[in-house]
Amino acid sequence: MSVFLKNCWYAAAFSDEVGREPIARTILDIPMVFYRKEDGTPVALLDRCSHRFAPLSIGTLVGDEIQCGYHGLRFDCSGKCTANPHNDGKALKAADIDSFHIFERYGFVWLWPGDPELADPSLLPHFHFLEDDDTWKVLKGVLYVKGNYQLVTDNLLDLTHAPYLHPGFKMPGVTPEQQLAATTTKTERDGNTVHYHRMRNGLPPNQATIDLFGFPNEPCQTRTHMHWHAPALINFDNGSKFEGQDDLEGFCFPQAHCITPETETTCHYFFAAARNLLRDEEEIDHALMDVLNIAFRTQDEPMIEAVQQRMGNTGDLDSLNPVLLKTDAAPVMARRIIRELLDAEQAEETVIAAE
Amino acid sequence: MSVFLKNCWYAAAFSDEVGREPIARTILDIPMVFYRKEDGTPVALLDRCSHRFAPLSIGTLVGDEIQCGYHGLRFDCSGKCTANPHNDGKALKAADIDSFHIFERYGFVWLWPGDPELADPSLLPHFHFLEDDDTWKVLKGVLYVKGNYQLVTDNLLDLTHAPYLHPGFKMPGVTPEQQLAATTTKTERDGNTVHYHRMRNGLPPNQATIDLFGFPNEPCQTRTHMHWHAPALINFDNGSKFEGQDDLEGFCFPQAHCITPETETTCHYFFAAARNLLRDEEEIDHALMDVLNIAFRTQDEPMIEAVQQRMGNTGDLDSLNPVLLKTDAAPVMARRIIRELLDAEQAEETVIAAE
Amino acid sequence: MSVFLKNCWYAAAFSDEVGREPIARTILDIPMVFYRKEDGTPVALLDRCSHRFAPLSIGTLVGDEIQCGYHGLRFDCSGKCTANPHNDGKALKAADIDSFHIFERYGFVWLWPGDPELADPSLLPHFHFLEDDDTWKVLKGVLYVKGNYQLVTDNLLDLTHAPYLHPGFKMPGVTPEQQLAATTTKTERDGNTVHYHRMRNGLPPNQATIDLFGFPNEPCQTRTHMHWHAPALINFDNGSKFEGQDDLEGFCFPQAHCITPETETTCHYFFAAARNLLRDEEEIDHALMDVLNIAFRTQDEPMIEAVQQRMGNTGDLDSLNPVLLKTDAAPVMARRIIRELLDAEQAEETVIAAE
């Protein structure tokens, strides 16, 4: 039985990673190759020729088809073998390879590894800030994390780690304990979505945003509404405002965090973060990206990888009996939903196999 | 049961790799040490002292014997422990180690890992071009390939990959499809040998040989006669000639390709290539070696290693059900012969064990 | 069943490695964190938070407690969780982690991984030379060896390897055979201690000590009394004197060698070597350390790692049926004692489990 959900959306790539030069990426333990047709449509195929198992990603595109770089077999966008140059160019039916259902929106190429009939774009989170360039300036990046993908979710759905792991996000003169005391949290399940809300009142903005945007060291209201969609897409509404401001007058920092398993113990972690303030200032782009990179790449990523090392070869934290805190409500709820969905998918597969 | 044939010849080393400085090389998963006696005879022993398992290859030679670098035990060329310095220098019978049957010819040290009684030099291919310095100039090299040894054989016994993987071997103005169309192929089995013949008529020489030897861009006849001897020795008669020339007036480029398993998923790949033209020009030596290194080291080797990666931890391609093309006739025949020989060896071992 | 003895002392660290900055070290396959309380007492805890398995070694000290760097849980020196900042700072009993019994003496932090009730400091060897700065100057170091810890013991308890592996310790004009012939050896068992004595008469001092201390090239008496305490602590009395000298007038070079398993195939190897001559000369410190580093790091360590490679993934040499020599008496006796003690510990565990 797979340890991964199949009938769901995963981020496969940023749109601008995929072009007329094929790229290889392993997702859910499956080697895949991604490229674009001449009309720009993205394509995802098994990155392994059926003949001698050469990676197609080191082949070449011929129109909309990909030609194996070893012996020249060609495959169309559905994985159908269209030509075998060693047989007068005739196709070889038995040589067809798997193709994968993908869909492009919000600057991402999304992958539905299960039944394409079930692939419903409306199941994607609504990342509105990735579709409105007039209001938002977007920064993005991808991390390769040597840890199970759920460890990244755990990290995001419990932001109480911030005052300990991310000193740059502290408020001036405020201890971690004061920060936690000023924060209220609510976790709700809605179908297969977890809503995790954090509100903080009466404390100044964090030091990073003071430095970036020149905010005053005065009390403000900070919100984080995190919407997790199984198994690993997070729509993240973050912002802060001073008294008398409405949300959009304040600082808005909505984010997309999309985590995609590579193997049981490694993952691809895509993030996109939008801001409404000083949108046209490149200096802010660089300074904000530095802040994100420090937090994500030098603090979260090493911590997650250290946790994975302590877990050994398994990606299943629950099997190791961790102690749970109240603040784990959201991560635990998310893990339970994944467990339910996996059980249902596997029961379904068993029924199909028995029929 | 071993995955490797034992009663057959493998290339263990080039003759000039073996001298009075012991070298270590693992072959068929067995660590071996090679050196030469004072009279020049090569020796192959288990590279592991029977006492504390030190590699003898980091020991020192004393006359024709090798002395362990850890506690000073000495072994003769048959693996017999001849002296234990901690027992008044007396030998210790129980400390004998394995020696291996080797034989030197054609500038190679050949290894017969099975029963020495069966080791028959006449079973070696006749690499005539490695014995006649007046006619031939030889270039050679060894690659360490992180792939099962049969993947290298597959690569050689199906040269239809050349127009796809080796752009430097294209003919000027000729497409891969035209090249394939102008080529006829014949595959024959003769005992445990596979003969794979390729003849091409009416096309110009390939660009590499035009550049090297100044051949005209005119139609020629090109031959490749490949003689594979189980499990992995290939005698390779390659050449091209223009109308009115006999073979030796044209370009002759006979080659030896000898592939030796290190482990199930790695191998040592020895090649030697001889030419009859411009034999004394060092510039041609360098330019031709560049051509071979580009093809073997930057095209074939990465492709074979990528295929092995797609295969995972097994070296057995057949177990993964690859699709077969007509052009796989020779590789499939070779794999079948290896299978037959392995089955026979293992049946023999079972009989011996039961007796 | 563990492959390691538990009710015994292991060297965990040099005292000066442990301070107010936590350090991580894996011992007997267990990740541990070491630090000092404000009063200087050393502490050893499991290096894994019970909540999300973060290594505590990347956390921070708060007084005598360690605070997890991920979510801020705090643990005292006994492993008790004393504070959870996400629950009004209250402790969480279920979150307690393991602590380990340690004890400091001779400039080492010693670890007793088994029952603390049984931890008896008097079971430690008496390393007198590590407690008397007026008489002795001590040099020390720690090696990380990619080999089973018993391979290091084997190396030390059979010094007949010296003339083969350590050319710097040869006597001028003396062959290895002459050196061995002039040496008498005695091995005795006393409880769980092995005494291994080597006496050499009539040969000059070794070249290294001639170079370091200007000894004459004249016959002397050399002693090595090695006292091995299960499973891997060696108290080593080494020295040489010329006629008419008593021991302390000659060169005394007592040493502590303490080997601690990290995993079955890796270990930490601590050494401390004291001298009575030219104690205040820093030049001699450097020159002597060079001699030790050449022997331990460039000769013993690579040999032990090469042996481990030849053994594959097991750390159990006996399971591979090595040939034994007379000179293996002490290593064999040591291995037998470890086997006896392991059997007794495991029988005890079985009884406890059955009760």
CATH of the domain at A75: 2.102.10.10
pLDDT of residue B330: 97
In the block, tokens 């049946």 appear at: B347
Of C31, C47, C51, the CB nearest to A325: C51
Residue A200 phi, psi dihedral angles, 5° rounding: -130, 130
CB pairs under 8 A between A and B: 67
Nearest CA to B328 out of B207, B167, B153, B210 is that of B153
H-type alpha helices, A144-281: 149-157, 162-165, 176-181, 207-213
Cβ distance of A95 and B303 shorter than 8 Å: no
Examine the domain organization and report whether B153 and B281 are in the same domain: yes
Of B52, B84, B95, the CB nearest to C154: B52
Is the pLDDT at A297 greater than 70? The verdict is: yes
CB pairs under 8 A between B and C: 67
- Confidence tier at B1 by pLDDT (50, 70, 90): low
Q: Which of B49-58, B89-98, C323-332 has the lowest mean pLDDT?
A: B89-98
B263–chain A nearest CA distance, Å:
20
Render A162-174 in DSSP notation, one character per residue: HHHH-GGGPPTT-
Interface contact A313, partner C, CB < 8 A? no
Cβ distance of A53 and B160 shorter than 8 Å: no
Residue C312 phi, psi dihedral angles, 5° rounding: 80, -140
CA-based nearest residue in chain A for residue B322: A51
Beta carbons of C173 and C307 less than 8 angstroms apart = no
Examine the domain organization and report whether B101 and B178 are in the same domain: no
- Confidence tier at C92 by pLDDT (50, 70, 90): confident
CA-based nearest residue in chain A for residue B320: A53
Cβ distance of A72 and B320 shorter than 8 Å: no
In the block, tokens 């029963």 appear at: B115
Cα distance between residue C279 and residue C288, in whole Å: 11
In chain A the first and final C-alpha atoms are separated, in Å, by: 18
B1–chain C nearest CA distance, Å:
19
Examine the domain organization and report whether C113 and C141 are in the same domain: no
Q: What does the pLDDT average to over B324-328?
A: 93
Of A51, A69, A84, the CB nearest to B322: A51
DSSP B172: T
Longest dimension (CA), chain B: 77
Beta bridge partners of C233: C229, C258
Residue A257 phi, psi dihedral angles, 5° rounding: -125, 115
Mean pLDDT of chain B: 95
Examine the domain organization and report whether B142 and B222 are in the same domain: yes
pLDDT of residue C1: 54
Examine the domain organization and report whether B86 and B178 are in the same domain: no
Mean pLDDT of chain C: 95
Nearest CA to A212 out of A293, A277, A165 is that of A277
pLDDT in tens, B228-284: 999 999 999 999 999 999 998 999 999 999 999 999 999 999 999 999 999 999 999
pLDDT in tens, A147-166: 999 999 999 999 999 999 99
pLDDT of residue B144: 98
Beta carbons of A293 and A300 less than 8 angstroms apart = no
Beta carbons of A65 and A56 less than 8 angstroms apart = no
- Count of the separate structural domains present in chain C: 2
Within-domain flag for C128: no
Cβ distance of B176 and A55 shorter than 8 Å: no
Is the pLDDT at B354 greater than 90? The verdict is: no
Examine the domain organization and report whether A293 and A251 are in the same domain: yes
Nearest CA to B123 out of B34, B42, B191 is that of B191
Nearest CA to A149 out of A341, A10, A282 is that of A10
Quote the tokens at residue C123: 């079971």
pLDDT in tens, C6-29: 999 999 999 999 999 999 999 999
Within-domain flag for B331: yes
Examine the domain organization and report whether A188 and A319 are in the same domain: yes
Is the pLDDT at B62 greater than 90? The verdict is: yes
Beta carbons of C263 and C26 less than 8 angstroms apart = yes
Render B51-104 in DSSP notation, one character per residue: TT---GGGSEEETTEEE-TTT--EE-TTS-EEE-GGGTT---GGG---B-EEEE
pLDDT of residue A243: 93
Examine the domain organization and report whether B83 and B166 are in the same domain: no
Q: Which residues contact B3 (CB under 8 A, 6 or more apart)?
A: B264, B315, B316, B342
Of B311, B320, B327, the CB nearest to A86: B327
Q: What does the pLDDT average to over B329-346?
A: 96
Is the pLDDT at C37 greater than 80? The verdict is: yes
Examine the domain organization and report whether B55 and B134 are in the same domain: no
C 31-90 near A (Cβ less than 8 A): 31, 47-48, 50-55, 58, 67-72, 84-87, 89
Cα distance between residue C344 and residue B9, in whole Å: 52
Beta carbons of A54 and A44 less than 8 angstroms apart = no
Cα distance between residue B159 and residue B226, in whole Å: 10
Nearest CA to A256 out of A169, A133, A139, A150 is that of A139
pLDDT of residue C229: 98
Cα distance between residue C117 and residue B224, in whole Å: 80
Of C154, C176, C317, the CB nearest to B85: C176
A159–chain C nearest CA distance, Å:
9
Interface contact C310, partner B, CB < 8 A? yes
Q: What does the pLDDT average to over C331-346?
A: 96
pLDDT of residue B87: 82
pLDDT in tens, C112-159: 999 999 999 999 999 999 999 999 999 999 999 999 999 999 999 999
CA-based nearest residue in chain C for residue B53: C307
Q: Which residues of A touch B323 (CB under 8 A)?
A: 50-51, 92, 94-95
Is the pLDDT at B163 greater than 60? The verdict is: yes
Interface contact B298, partner A, CB < 8 A? no
Is the pLDDT at C210 greater than 70? The verdict is: yes
Percentage above 90 pLDDT, chain A: 89
Is the pLDDT at C353 greater than 80? The verdict is: no
Examine the domain organization and report whether A141 and A257 are in the same domain: yes
pLDDT of residue A1: 54
Quote the tokens at residue C122: 């008097």
Of C160, C180, C323, the CB nearest to B50: C323
CA-based nearest residue in chain A for residue B323: A51
Cβ distance of A326 and C85 shorter than 8 Å: no
Nearest CA to B292 out of B169, B176, B204 is that of B169
Which letter, b or e, does each residue of B43-59 get, where b requires 16 or more Cβ atoms within 10 Å of its Cβ? bbbbbbbbbbbbbbbbb
Beta carbons of C204 and C218 less than 8 angstroms apart = yes
pLDDT of residue C180: 87
pLDDT of residue B93: 83
Nearest CA to C69 out of A6, B104, A298 is that of A298
Name the 3-class secondary structure at B154.
helix
Cα distance between residue C288 and residue C57, in whole Å: 34
In the block, tokens 């995790």 appear at: A196
CATH number at residue C162: 3.90.380.10
Cis-peptide, bond into residue A167, ω within 30° of zero:
no
Cα distance between residue B138 and residue C69, in whole Å: 64
pLDDT of residue B172: 87
Quote the tokens at residue A268: 């691809």
pLDDT in tens, B14-31: 999 999 999 999 999 999
Cβ distance of A54 and B320 shorter than 8 Å: no
Cα distance between residue B104 and residue B112, in whole Å: 11
Q: Which residues contact A252 (CB under 8 A, 6 or more apart)?
A: A237, A238, A239, A274, A275, A276, A277
Examine the domain organization and report whether C175 and C65 are in the same domain: no
B314–chain A nearest CA distance, Å:
13
Of C31, C52, C68, the CB nearest to A154: C52
CA separation (Å) from B178 to B170, B184, B186, B210? 11, 12, 18, 19
Q: Which chains touch B (3 or more CB pairs under 8 A)?
A: A, C
Within-domain flag for C28: yes
Nearest CA to C352 out of C51, A235, C344, A164 is that of C344
pLDDT in tens, B178-223: 888 899 999 999 999 999 999 999 999 999 999 999 999 999 999 9
Q: Which residues of C touch A160 (CB under 8 A)?
A: 71-72, 85-86
Q: Which of A204-208, A224-228, A244-248, C347-351 has the lowest mean pLDDT?
A: C347-351
Within-domain flag for B94: yes
Q: Are strands C30-36 and C23-27 parallel, antiparallel or unpaired?
A: antiparallel
pLDDT in tens, A265-275: 999 999 999 99
Of B54, B92, B95, the CB nearest to C307: B54
pLDDT of residue B321: 94
Domain-terminating residue out of B49, B83, B118:
B118
Q: Which of A89-93, A169-173, B26-30, B144-148 has the lowest mean pLDDT?
A: A89-93
Cα distance between residue B162 and residue C273, in whole Å: 64
pTM of structure? 0.94
Quote the tokens at residue A174: 């405020």
Within-domain flag for A292: yes
Cα distance between residue C319 and residue C316, in whole Å: 6
Interface contact A92, partner B, CB < 8 A? yes
Interface contact C326, partner B, CB < 8 A? yes
Q: Are strands B101-105 and B81-83 parallel, antiparallel or unpaired?
A: unpaired
Interface contact B217, partner C, CB < 8 A? no
Other residues' Cβ atoms within 10 Å of the Cβ of residue B74? 23
Q: Which residues of A touch C51 (CB under 8 A)?
A: 322-325, 328
In the block, tokens 């605070």 appear at: C67
Cα distance between residue A53 and residue B303, in whole Å: 10
Quote the tokens at residue C47: 């290096």
Q: Which residues contact A24 (CB under 8 A, 6 or more apart)?
A: A31, A32, A33, A47, A55, A57
Examine the domain organization and report whether C156 and C48 are in the same domain: no
Within-domain flag for B162: yes
Residue A278 phi, psi dihedral angles, 5° rounding: 45, 50
Full domain range(s) for residue B309: 125-343
Domain-terminating residue out of A118, A149, A177:
A118
Cβ distance of A326 and C87 shorter than 8 Å: yes
Q: Which residues of C touch B55 (CB under 8 A)?
A: 306, 309-310
Strand intervals (E) in chain B: 10-14, 23-27, 30-36, 42-46, 60-62, 65-67, 74-75, 81-83, 101-105, 108-112, 137-145, 183-190, 193-203, 220-229, 233-241, 251-252, 255-263, 266-275
pLDDT of residue B141: 98
Quote the tokens at residue A246: 């409405």
Within-domain flag for A351: no
Crossing angle for the helix pair A149-157 and A329-354, nearest 10 degrees?
A: 140
Within-domain flag for B4: no
Domain-terminating residue out of A84, A118, A152:
A118
Cα distance between residue B125 and residue B137, in whole Å: 19
